[in-house]
Amino acid sequence: MESMQRLKEFCQDVRADIVRMTSAAGSGHPGGSLSAVEAMTVLYFNVMNHRPQEPGWPERDRFFLSKGHACPVTYSVMARSGYFPVEELLTLRKCGTRLQGHPSCKTLPGIEVSSGSLGQGLSIANGFALSAKIDNKPYRAYCLMGDGELQEGQVWEAIMTAAHYKLDNVCAIVDYNGLQIDGDVESVMGIAPLAQKWTAFNWHVIEADGHNLEQMQAAYAEAAQTKGKPSVIIMKTIKGKGISFMENVAGWHGKAPNQQELQSALAEIYGKENGK
């Protein structure tokens, strides 16, 4: 298990990866990737039971990126935990790359299912979790979802299903940054009060600061210890976190930084005049 200081260093590198790879691609989704950095770093380095050198290990915990457009953060933590070389990150969205603009299980080992069509991830996670129950396997299913994604009806069917089957090996993670591609989530289609809704659907609800490593570590531990019902971590986050000109700006949902913006972002991430 990595120390909190080491995780903070990983978070810096992951943020830098996100802006570098989207800038190199000239497209991508930095905003919602940056808001999930701490959650994904803790998950891949300190929580999930997985073997990067053996992606198909049957006993592995499964991760499902329901908001598939946020794949830059997933690719970064995968590379830095050993699934593939870090240098490959700069091939994001290039012709022939394994790192598609939305994750593909056909090209990259370690991606459980292809995703990008919003609202489907939790249903798939439920299926794997139910399979684990039936086969008496120990693995858990983790599913990262966007807050705007919760406007999809299928999500609520999946929420009912997980509670009905008492899938305590499912952990949903909601990236509650308040913004989606069309603007403020509550203005597009309100989802508040969010915690009360999940509670009413018979889930164990954990609320946390999504940028606090200690809180996220504790939230994952609480979810793993909860029996008889599924758990959801509703993590309050900031879209574009860590780069001041991107923070809380909906326009950075799907826009890549240019070279000048990249250098400014790297300098801010690492606290150096010219980045790293």
Domain count, the chain: 1
Q: What is the token pair recorded at 106?
A: 């056909």
Q: How far apart are CA 173 and CA 122, in angstroms?
A: 10
Which distant-in-sequence residues (6+ apart) come within 8 Å of 145 by Cβ?
Answer: 66, 67, 121, 122, 155, 172, 173, 174, 175
Would you say residue 276 lies in a domain? no
pLDDT in the model for residue 212? 98
What mean pLDDT value characterizes the chain?
96
Q: What is the pLDDT of residue 43?
A: 98
State the pLDDT at residue 207: 98
What is the CATH classification number for the domain harbouring 130?
A: 3.40.50.970
Cα–Cα dist 262/252, whole Å: 13
pTM: 0.96
Please report whether residue 275 resides in a domain: no
Instruction: State the Cα torsion 46-72-16-243 to the nearest 10°.
Output: -100
Residue 272 has a pLDDT of 62
Tell me the pLDDT band of 276, cut-offs 50, 70 and 90: very low
Predicted confidence band of residue 96 (pLDDT cuts 50, 70, 90): very high
Give dist(CA 190, CA 182) in Å, integer.
13
- pLDDT tens-digit series, residues 126-154: 999 999 999 999 999 999 999 999 999 99
In terms of residue numbers, what domain contains 85?
4-270
Domain-located, residue 27: yes
In a domain, 168, yes or no: yes
Over pLDDT 70: what percentage of the chain?
Answer: 98
| Confidence band of 50 (pLDDT split at 50, 70, 90) | very high
CA 125 to chain centre: 14
| 46, 7 contact by CB (below 8 A) | yes
* pLDDT of 275: 39
DSSP-based helix, strand, coil % in the chain, nearest 5? 45, 10, 40
pLDDT digit string, tens, across residues 167-203: 999 999 999 999 999 999 999 999 999 999 999 999 9
